[in-house]
Amino acid sequence: MAQDDHTGSPSLWRNRDYMLLWSGQAVSILGGGISDLAYPLLALALTGSPAQAGFLAAVGGLPYLLISLPAGALVDRWNRKKIMILCDTVRAVSIGTIPVAAALGHLSIAQLYVTSAVAGSAFVFFNVAEVAALPRVVDKSQIPEAASQNQAAQAGTALAAPSLGGLLFQAVGHTVPFLVDAISYAASVISLFFIRTSFQLERTGEERHLLAEIKEGVAWLWNQPLIRYMTFLTGGLNLAGSAIFLVLLILARQRGAPPALIGVMFAITAVGGLLGALVAPRFQRRFGYAQVIITAAWIQALVVPLFALAPNVYVLGTLGAILFVTAPIYNAVQFSYRVSLIPDALQGRVNSAVRMVGYGTLPVGSALAGLLIQSINTVPTVLIIGAFLVVLAILTTLNRHVRAAQSAVPETLPA
């Protein structure tokens, strides 16, 4: 059996269950990326309103704020594999209703809102369960490598998804991207059925009141100063990131780009994400936690204002690529550190609390961006986002817990 060079554990590429999980998610991420571009384009086609496009994106992210905490507690109670299968089934069916309604001549913006909310709610449960299951599928020493490989899958599919989404939307049909997305979730369900590893340890204690279990997860997170700060930092960066996605789309449209070319622009940005994912393992081994996190925060703060000066979609895409190269490195470092510390029985609850804050800002960013673009135009919106990122970079640089953090996966709780 192939061995990992550093740990002596079986190579991830020979880990059958991990590869099933990884490949199934790569396919569904590709489908999700295709429909992610189609959602705002379809909203703009139906309404002509940037604010409606922003609100639609906000509805998809709203479940992070509303149900993350109970989802985490239930993921720690229930069978994680069954949760993931059910959630991807729900996503496949709900998103599949969009092309059906269009074919019948009944598609409306209201249905897009409902579908986005249902799919977003299913994703919250699925995502918390997937993160909680990872330490069961791979050895603890390989979590950084698995996190980097997951980032590579996301970046690789992000490279192809926007171009495919824009092309399908423009050349084949406005709702075809959603049909492709529904099929991708069905493929994920099939891959999950073949995984043999149990996604959690056997629970021995009695179930308590749901609120008490939620409080236990939140308390664990709050008592970890570094992870607590990183949760709020990630929330701030995601708020800006969700706003930037809509900003780039609107800037490209204002410069006369058709949907297919907008897809090419997002594919160019994804090149940066792919590069970042490929070098993330090397950065984890060579640089300290503080170096990676602080540098990533400053790169984002300095690059975003340049969007205001970009003359065309190719420059926008290139700047986006520079920005996106930091995301997989940042995510791999902070994710590996956090997941390695959390006890298995608390994985769902702690990660759901992290995601409530870290991802709960996504709808806020999308909605604010849509409102700001419609009220003060795109360039002032870019400058506001840039100023916000500068504040985050300064706070991160000054944070003593970030500066003192370990570079490797910790073996014990930090003092």
User: What is the mean predicted confidence (pLDDT) over 324-340?
Assistant: 84
6-20, 327-341, 397-411: which range is least confident on average?
A: 6-20
Residues 204-240: b if buried by 16+ CB within 10 A, e if exposed? eeeeeeeeebbbbbbebbeebebbbbbbebbbbbbbb
Tell me if 366 is assigned to some domain.
yes
Tokens 């540098």 identify what position?
Answer: 295
Least Cα distance to 353 among 204, 258, 222 occurs for 222
Lookup: tokens for 155: 């970046």
pLDDT in tens, 85-104: 999 999 999 999 998 998 88
Q: Of the ranges 3-17, 131-145, 276-290, 379-393, which is most confident? A: 379-393
Tell me if 90 is assigned to some domain.
yes
As beta bridge partners, residue 3 has: 10
Lookup: tokens for 52: 């409606």
Q: Give, rounded to a whole angstrom, the gap between the first and last alpha carbons of the chain.
A: 38
Tell me if 345 is assigned to some domain.
yes
Tell me if 293 is assigned to some domain.
yes
- Quote the CA–CA distance of 399 and 10 in Å, as a whole number: 38
User: What is the mean predicted confidence (pLDDT) over 255-276?
Assistant: 82
Residue 410 has pLDDT above 60, yes or no: no
**The CA-based dihedral angle spanning residues 140, 142, 148, 152, taken in that order and rounded to the nearest 10 degrees:** -120
Backbone angles phi, psi at 227, to 5 degrees: -65, -35
pLDDT of residue 413: 46
Lookup: tokens for 214: 């939620």
Tell me if 247 is assigned to some domain.
yes
CATH number of the domain that 348 lies in?
1.20.1250.20
For residue 407, the 8-state DSSP code is S
Lookup: tokens for 329: 């490195």
User: By residue range, what is the domain housing residue 299?
Assistant: 12-194+206-403
- Indicate the pTM of the whole model: 0.68
Cβ atoms of 185 and 293 closer than 8 Å: no
For residue 345, the 8-state DSSP code is G
User: What is the mean predicted confidence (pLDDT) over 200-227?
Assistant: 79
Cβ atoms of 75 and 348 closer than 8 Å: yes
Tell me if 75 is assigned to some domain.
yes
Residue 103: Cβ-neighbour burial (10 angstroms; 0-12, 13-18, 19+): exposed
Tell me if 64 is assigned to some domain.
yes
Q: Note the helical H segments in 168-222.
A: 176-193, 210-222
- Number of domains forming the structure of the chain: 1
Tell me if 4 is assigned to some domain.
no
pLDDT of residue 342: 79
Lookup: tokens for 217: 């997860």
Residue 414 has pLDDT above 60, yes or no: no
Backbone angles phi, psi at 5, to 5 degrees: -65, -25
User: What is the mean predicted confidence (pLDDT) over 54-80?
Assistant: 81
User: What is the mean predicted confidence (pLDDT) over 255-284?
Assistant: 81
